[in-house]
Structure 1
Amino acid sequence: MSRSSDRSARNRLGVVPDAGAWCAIGRIPEPPRDVHQAAGGGPLRPAFLRPLGLLGAVLVAPFMPIAMLFTLLASGEEALKRLLSTKEERARARAEDLDIDRRDKAIAEQGLDSTFDGDWNKAAGQFLLRWYSHSSHHQRFVVLTEGRIVLAAPPKRVSVRREDRMRVVAEIPAGAAVVEDPLPAHDNRKLRIRFTDGSWLMLTTEEQRSEVHMHLMRQPRAARSGASDV
């Protein structure tokens, strides 16, 4: 976790974090109308960017060709490096590519590209129905702290200073759910909130192998295997 994130968690959220990471959730499927209405009929999508954010995109647009040129040059440089690399480096690159293929295959086989388990009546589905009612921002700062899982975000979607504006938008007691890395054998950006009734939500972290991933990796093997059995 960055120093600014740690400081925000302590000062703004009032928690002492064990680990934290900015995460996004996948597209929320359309729920049955009666289930949605019973949960309050809240929004199922994040808010659009404010005009200021759109203005920033417009201002950046003229520079896109230059950025694309640098990208092409970087790609060419990478290709040249691969061509001139040693046998050991080429073998390492092939191993990394193979690991990525295995990771992507595991994601597809385990359904980790789904937003949740699919049962709207269980804990994960009910939590998901209220996801954007708490905040219209497209991300959540997920904090693991003693006794609970804390989710924070700005009240509304912002393009800058998200950490300065975030507040607690939801909490899950540790006895109700756990956060787990569903692919511990691979570098990945997947995290899963698994509730005690077996339902789950899938999150995608901004960073590959985030601070939360590293925290979970440091836990005793028994604790990790126990979390998977919840």
Structure 2
Amino acid sequence: MAPRRKQHNSAERLGIHIEAGEWCTIDAIPRPPADVYAAAGNPRLRPGRVPALGMIGAVLKAPFIPIALLLGLLAAMEDSVMRSLAPKGERTRLRAKSTDERTRRRAVADEYGLDRVFDGNWHGDAGQFLLDWYGHSPHHQRLLLATPEGIVLAAPPRRVSVGREKHMRVVARLPVTEAALVDPFAGEFATTTLLIRFRDGSWLRVETEEPRSALHMHALRRPSPDG
């Protein structure tokens, strides 16, 4: 079954009508200041461990390369071959274009501070939401669903290595008036990076399993919560 179909099936089982969905992860949560951490009730800051039997199952499945990853590798190989076969002048132009794209991407990343998992303000909406991330579920991934009403995050109630769709439950809801998905690169680059941007301007960075996913396309069509 195609990944996108699985995501829609999971949403249907939860009774949610979605416009787009994708599995995502976050970077390691930094240690908050002691007073912030205590005020939040000393929440979990790391995902749970994978059960031993689950790890064995994951190893048994490892030889099968995901189609998306395989297609990505083939596309990269094709691009490399085409570059090598291009005339010298064209190769120079392609190298210059690639360098220019990397420069622009770094500039946007620096502007947003995308080397961080969130904007850094623990008292902002994003920081407070991040403190509850693993309290909602110790699973390391979230199924991020864009709905007409806003954003829904779903996950298994415990960390699993296989069968994540079977144990799905809603762990958080963000109304469209409070948060929205933003592609910080405005669709210019095929990246896995998305921001959950909150009404107060704070943001949380997530990484989708696939670059330029349906969620990226959705983010480009919808305005941010602050207009």
| TM class, shorter-length | 0.7 to 0.9
- Are 1:212 and 2:220 counterparts? no
In 1, the alpha carbon distance for the partners of 2:43 and 2:17 equals: 31
Q: CA deviation at 1:203?
A: 0.8
How has the CA–CA distance of structure 1 residues 4 and 120 changed in structure 2, closer, same or farther, with 3 Å as cutoff? same
Given that 1:20 and 1:141 are in contact with CA atoms closer than 8 Å, whether structure 2 keeps it comes out as yes
Name the Cα RMSD after superposition: 2.9
Bigger Cα displacement from structure 2, 81-90 vs 160-169? 81-90
Q: Report the Cα offset of residue 113 of structure 1.
A: 2.0
Corresponding residue for residue 73 of structure 2: none
Q: 1:192 aligns with which of 190, 195, 200?
A: 195
8 Å contact from structure 2 (residues 199, 226) kept in 1: no
Alignment of 1:1-230 (within 5 A): 2-11=4-13, 13-56=14-57, 82-85=83-86, 90=91, 91-92=93-94, 95-96=97-98, 98-184=100-186, 185-217=188-220, 219=221, 223-224=222-223, 227=224, 229=226
SS at match of 1:2: helix
Deviation, 1:159, is 1.1
Structure 2 counterpart of 1:66: none
Aligned counterparts of 2:121 and 2:170: Cα–Cα separation in 1 = 26
Q: Distance in 2 between matches of 1:60 and 1:149?
A: 31
Number of aligned residue pairs? 212
AA aligned opposite 1:37: A
CA contact (8 A) 2:179 2:225 kept: no
> Cα–Cα, structure 1 residues 86 and 3, in superposed 2: closer, same or farther, change >3 Å?
farther
Please give the per-residue CA displacement for 1:53-73, whole angstroms capped at 9, x wherever unaligned: 4335666899xxxxxxxxxxx
Note the C-alpha offset of 1:106: 2.3
Deviation at 1:88, TM superposition (A): 8.5
C-alpha displacement of 1:210: 0.9
Q: Is the 8 A contact 1:180 1:228 kept in 2?
A: no
The amino acid across from 1:120 in the alignment is W
**Matched position secondary structure for 1:6:** helix
Matched residue of 2:110: which SS? Answer: helix
TM-score by length of 1: 0.79
SS in 2 for 1:17: coil
Q: Secondary structure at the match of 2:19?
A: strand
Equivalents in 1 of 2:136, 2:178: separation in Å? 19
Q: Flag structure 2 segments of 5+ consecutive residues without an equivalent.
A: 64-75
Aligned-partner residue type, residue 212 of structure 2: R
Structure 1 residues 136-182: Cα deviation after superposition (integer angstroms, max 9, x where no partner): 11111111112121000111111111122211011111111111111
Report the Cα offset of residue 114 of structure 1: 1.0
Gap change, CA 1:61 and 1:134, over 3 Å in 2? closer
Q: Which segments of structure 1 move beyond 4 Å, counting only runs of 4 or more? A: 56-62, 75-82, 85-89, 91-94
Query: How far apart in 2 are the matches of 1:3 and 1:93?
Result: 37
Q: Secondary structure at the match of 2:146?
A: strand
After TM superposition, the score normalised by the length of structure 2 is 0.80
| Distance in structure 2 (CA, Å) of the matches to 1:61 and 1:215 | 31
* In 2: Cα distance, 1:130 partner to 1:24 partner: 15
Task: Rate the CA distance shift 1:89–1:197 in 2: closer, same or farther, 3 A.
Answer: same
Which amino acid is the alignment partner of residue 215 of structure 2? V
